[in-house]
Amino acid sequence: MILKAKHHFIIHPFFKFYTKWKMKNHFSSVHVDGRIQQKKAAVLLVSNHVSWWDGFWAMYLNLTVFKRKFHFMMLKEQLKKYWFFNYTGGFSVNKKSKSIIETINYAGSLLDDPENMVLIFPQGELQSLYEEKIIFESGLERIIEKTKGNPQIIFNANLVDYFSLSKPAVYMYLEEFHHTDLSTENMQKHYNRFYKRCIEKQKQKTF
């Protein structure tokens, strides 16, 4: 049995406030790059998984750009350990259990509601920020297959740079994925092209 997402009337608002506070106090600046046309559809945020900060960055994007009900997938043992995340939109996945089917069905059902946003890390594990290629697991495609709606698929790449400052700046790149081929292979190919463009843009940054 999976742990389904909850949005506690005290814990969830506090986490939103805490996210804004963390972003303001730990980064010299925050930049969102990419115009997204808002639609009456759920948002599936496909992001690179590079640090402990990833969930906070996604929450910040939701608060400032998408403004949906925030949901994210988390390993069951981690969600039990950090139980409060369950009350801020976290739901469980256990890759070694048959319950993974339930998780995929549940994630797909969340994307039927245009008021929701679901964060997915397609590589399924933390990787170095300097990884040149991101390999997708099959879960993303299976989740999309289970949704009855037409979610807005948004590619997201988060990068950081210090330049001359003691605190890093975070750059959040966004791009909507427009394609009829939603296979793992095709989404991986297009995400990596997007990711490469983000790296090239980042190299041109100055402070």
Domains present along the chain, CATH in parentheses: 11-203 (3.40.1130.10)
pLDDT of residue 97: 83
pTM of the model: 0.95
Sheet holding 116-120, edge to edge: 29-33, 169-176, 152-161, 43-47, 116-120, 69-75, 90-93
Burial of 53 per CB tally in 10 Å (0-12, 13-18, 19+): middle
CA 9 to chain centre: 23
Flag whether pLDDT at 206 surpasses 90: no
Mean pLDDT, residues 98-119 = 96
Q: pLDDT tens digit string along 131-183?
A: 889 999 999 999 999 999 899 999 999 999 999 999 999 999 999 999 889 99
CA proximity to 171, closest of 207, 119, 127: 207
Q: pLDDT tens digit string along 24-49?
A: 999 999 999 998 998 999 999 999 99
